[in-house]
C-alpha cells in the first residue's frame, strides 16, 4: 500500500481469485511489476485486466515487464477485452542492469538483475527521505514564521530578524525512518544481489530447495534456503522472508531451520500472510 | 469419463487448480470443448497446457473451439510452453449449425448452436447404441457356435445347421440404455435447442437470472431459471442441472423453486458436484 495505490508483483493464474479471497481491494492496484515471463508469473493478467474492464475501472494500469509481454498480451486484450474503460501502459524493464523504473514524490522502485533461465529482475521498493518533524515549542520560542516551516522540514537552518542563525536540529525532530523492501525471485544465488539490497528492512528471497540440493538449484537457476539466508546476512537486512518452495517438499520446517542457522530473523512466506515492512 | 479419456468443457482461469482441489486426474483429459471465446471460458488454457508440459504429458490434446482460438493461443504456447512433449490439435467448431465434432466407437459429440453475444455452441454427448447381451443358457440350448456371438450382439438372428431360424431376442437380452448429456451455456432462451436435446438423460442449461429479470436476460443473451426449465420440459429430458448464476444472487433457492415449478426434476450445479448421467 502506498498513496499512489497498491503495487502487485507478478500475476500468476488465479491471482484475482486469491486477491478476492483475502479481501484485497484489488481495484486500487495501479502498478503491476512482472519479474519474468514464465507462465506462473503472468497467466493471471488476461483475467485480471478483463475483470477490471467488467468492474468499470477508469484508472490507468501500469505494467512493468520484459519487452515481450506487450506483444503477447495486446492481441488477447484486443480480442477478449475490447473497449476497456481504462488505459494499460506497458513499461519495458531490461534485466541487464539496475534501473529506476518507478518514482513518485515519496517512493522509488528499482529493478534488480537476477540470474534465472530467462531475463529476470527483482524489485527494490525504497521510500525517499522523509521530512523532518517541526518542534512547535522551539519554533514558538524562536518566533519562526509559518512560511519558514517547509524549509525547516527539508533541513534548512533558520535566521531570525536579528541575523542570528538557529540550527535546524534545535527546531525539528529527525524524520521517521525510510523503509525499503526487496523482492528477489526466481534466481540462482548471486553475490551481486547483496550490494543492491543492502540494509533493506525486509527481503523476500526465493529458497526453492534445501542445502542438499544445491547442485540442482544451480542447474535450475534457483536458490537454496541457506543461500537466501547468506544474501540476507551479507546485505545485513532487517528480516528475511523465504518463499517459492519446490512442491516436492511437504514440510517447510527444514527451510526455516536451515535459513535461521545462517540468518536468525527469517520467516516463511505463507499464502495470504501479511508482513509489515 | 469415457474409455478415450476425460472430456473437459470450457477452461476458465483457475480450472487446473479446481481440478487438483477436487482430485480429478486431469492428466487423462484428452479432449477440451470450448463453448465460446469469452475470457471466463478460456483463460485457464495457457496454464493447463503449460502444466501438462511440466508433467511430461505425451498424449495428444484435442481442442474443439471457434476458429479464433488457435491464432490467439499458439503465440502464447510458442513463448511460454516451448518444446511441449505432446501435440495440441485444434478442431474448428462453427456456431451456425449442428455438427458432429467428435466420434469414436462408443460415443458421438455434437455441437449445439446457441444464442449468445458472440458465436457460441453447446455440446451434446451421446453414447452409441450398445451391443445386446448374450443369453448363455439359451445359446447353449440352440447350440449357437462361438463365432456367431458378435452377430447376435449386433442383433442378427441365428440359423442352425438344419436351416431353422432362431430370432435374436430369444438368444440375447436388450443392450443397456445409451445415455446422453447436453451442456448449454451461455445462451438466451432458444426453442431450437429443444429439438436438439430431446430426451437426453441430463441437461445442463444456464439460468443466469430469475424470471423477474427476463428482459435483462434477453438483452444480455442469457436465460432465466424458468426458461431453462421450459427447455427441459419441452425436450422431455431426464433431469435438469441449472447453473451459471449471476453473482448478484447470494441465495440460489429461488432458482430451484422457479425451475421446479416448470420442471420438477431440477437440481443446482454446485462447485465440485458430481452428477451421474
Under 8 Å between Cβ of B208 and B185 = no
Q: Whose CA is closest to B176, among B109, B124, B126, B129?
A: B129
* Residue A222 · residue A189 · CB < 8 Å: no
- Write down the mean pLDDT value for chain A: 94
Question: Among A248, A150, A235, A244, which residue's Cα sits nearest to residue A200?
Answer: A235
Decide if pLDDT at A272 tops 80: no
Task: Specify the range with the lowest mean pLDDT, choosing from A142-151, A268-277, B7-16, B231-240.
Answer: A268-277
**If chain B, 277 residues long, is cut into consecutive pieces of 10 residues, what is the mean pLDDT of each piece?**
78 95 91 96 97 95 98 97 96 96 95 96 95 95 94 94 93 94 96 96 97 97 98 98 94 97 95 72
Spell out the SS3 assignment of chain B.
CCCCCEEEECCCCCHHHHHHHCCCCHHHEEEEECCCCCHHHCCCHHHHHHHHHHCCCCCCEEEEECCCHHHHHHHHHHHHCCCCCCCEEEEECCCCCCCEEEECCCEEEEEEECCCCCCCEEEEEEECCCCCEECHHHHHHCCCCHHHHHHHHCCCCEECCCCCEECHHHCEECCCCCCEEEEECCCCCCHHHHHHCCCCCEEEEECCECHHHHHHHHHCCCCEHHHHHHHHHHCCCCEEEEECCCCCCCCCHHHHHHHHCCCCCEEECCCCCCCCC
Longest dimension (CA), chain B: 74
* Three-state secondary structure string covering A71-114: HHHHHHHHHHCCCCCCCEEEEECCCCCCCEEEECCCEEEEEEEC
**pLDDT for the residue numbered B273:** 72
Comparison of pLDDT for A271 and A134, the residue scoring more: A134
Out of A14, A50, A76, name the one closest to residue B14 (CB).
A14
| CATH 3.60.15.10 boundaries in chain A | 1-93, 96-130+178-277
**CATH architecture under which domain A96-130+178-277 falls:** 4-Layer Sandwich (3.60)
pLDDT at A273 over 90: no
**Phi and psi for A30 in degrees, rounded to 5?**
-110, -15
C-alpha A237/C-alpha A89 separation (Å) is 33
> Within chain B, which residue ranges are assigned CATH 3.60.15.10?
1-93, 95-130+178-277
Would you state the pLDDT for residue B175? 94
Rounded distance between C-alpha atoms, residue A207 and residue A226, angstroms: 8
Nearest CB among B37, B39, B81 relative to A47 is that of: B39
Could A39 and B47 be called an inter-chain contact, meaning their C-beta atoms sit closer than 8 Å?
yes
pLDDT above 70 as % of chain A: 98
- State residue A275's pLDDT score: 74
% of chain A exceeding 90 in pLDDT: 92
Of the candidate CATH numbers 1.10.10.10, 3.40.50.12780, 3.60.15.10, 3.30.930.10, the domain formed by A1-93 belongs to 3.60.15.10
- Does the interface predicted TM-score (ipTM) exceed 0.90? no
Residue A4 has pLDDT above 80, yes or no: no
**Cβ pair B231, B193 in contact under 8 A:** yes
Phi, psi at residue B31, to the nearest 5°?
A: -135, 125
Q: Residue B44: list chain A partners with CB under 8 A.
A: 13
Judged by CB atoms closer than 8 Å, whether chains meet at B72 and A79 is answered as yes
What is B95-130+178-277's CATH number? 3.60.15.10
Mutate to test the interface with B, among A15, A17, A43, A246 (most CBs of B within 10 A): A43
- Cα–Cα distance between A201 and A239 in angstroms, integer? 6
Interchain contact A275–B (C-beta under 8 A): no
pLDDT score of A276: 72
Q: What is the DSSP letter of A210?
A: -
**Do the chains contact at A43 and B46, CB–CB below 8 Å?**
yes
**Does the pLDDT value for residue A1 go beyond 80?**
no
In this structure, the strands spanning B202-206 and B239-243 are parallel
The set of cell numbers assigned to B29 is 483429459
Q: Is the pLDDT of residue A133 over 90?
A: yes
> Do residue A50 and residue B39 have CB atoms under 8 angstroms apart?
yes
B40 is catalytic: yes
pLDDT in the model for residue B275: 74
**Which of B10, B16, B37, B39 is the mutation pick for testing A, counting most A CBs within 10 A?**
B39
Amino acid at each position: 500500500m502506498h498513496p499512489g495505490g497498491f503495487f502487485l508483483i507478478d500475476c500468476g493464474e488465479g491471482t484475482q481469485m486469491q486477491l478476492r479471497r483475502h479481501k484485497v481491494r484489488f481495484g486500487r492496484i495501479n502498478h503491476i511489476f512482472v519479474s519474468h515471463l514464465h507462465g506462473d508469473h503472468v497467466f493471471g493478467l488476461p483475467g485480471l485486466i478483463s475483470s477490471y474492464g467488467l468492474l468499470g475501472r477508469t484508472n490507468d494500469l501500469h505494467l512493468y515487464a520484459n519487452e515481450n509481454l506487450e506483444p503477447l498480451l495486446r492481441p488477447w486484450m484486443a480480442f477478449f477485452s475490447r473497449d476497456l474503460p481504462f488505459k494499460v501502459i506497458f513499461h519495458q524493464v531490461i534485466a541487464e542492469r539496475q534501473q529506476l523504473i518507478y518514482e513518485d514524490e515519496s517512493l522509488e522502485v528499482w529493478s534488480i538483475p537476477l540470474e534465472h533461465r530467462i531475463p529476470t529482475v527483482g524489485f527494490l521498493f525504497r521510500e525517499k527521505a522523509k521530512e523532518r518533524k517541526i518542534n512547535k515549542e522551539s519554533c514558538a520560542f524562536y518566533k519562526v514564521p509559518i512560511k519558514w516551516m517547509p524549509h525547516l522540514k527539508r533541513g534548512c537552518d533558520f535566521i531570525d530578524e536579528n541575523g542570528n542563525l538557529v540550527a535546524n536540529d534545535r527546531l525539528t525532530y529527525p524524520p521517521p525512518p525510510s523503509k525499503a523492501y526487496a523482492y528477489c525471485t526466481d534466481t540462482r544465488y548471486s553475490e551481486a544481489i547483496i550490494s543492491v539490497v543492502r540494509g533493506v528492512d525486509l527481503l523476500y528471497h526465493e529458497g526453492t530447495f534445501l542445502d542438499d540440493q544445491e547442485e540442482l538449484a544451480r542447474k535450475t537457476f534457483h536458490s537454496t534456503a541457506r543461500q537466501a539466508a547468506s544474501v540476507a546476512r551479507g546485505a545485513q537486512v532487517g528480516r528475511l522472508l523465504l518463499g517459492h518452495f519446490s512442491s516436492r517438499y511437504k514440510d517447510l520446517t527444514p527451510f526455516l531451520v536451515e535459513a535461521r542457522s545462517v540468518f536468525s530473523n527469517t520467516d516463511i512466506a505463507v499464502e495470504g500472510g501479511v508482513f509489515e515492512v
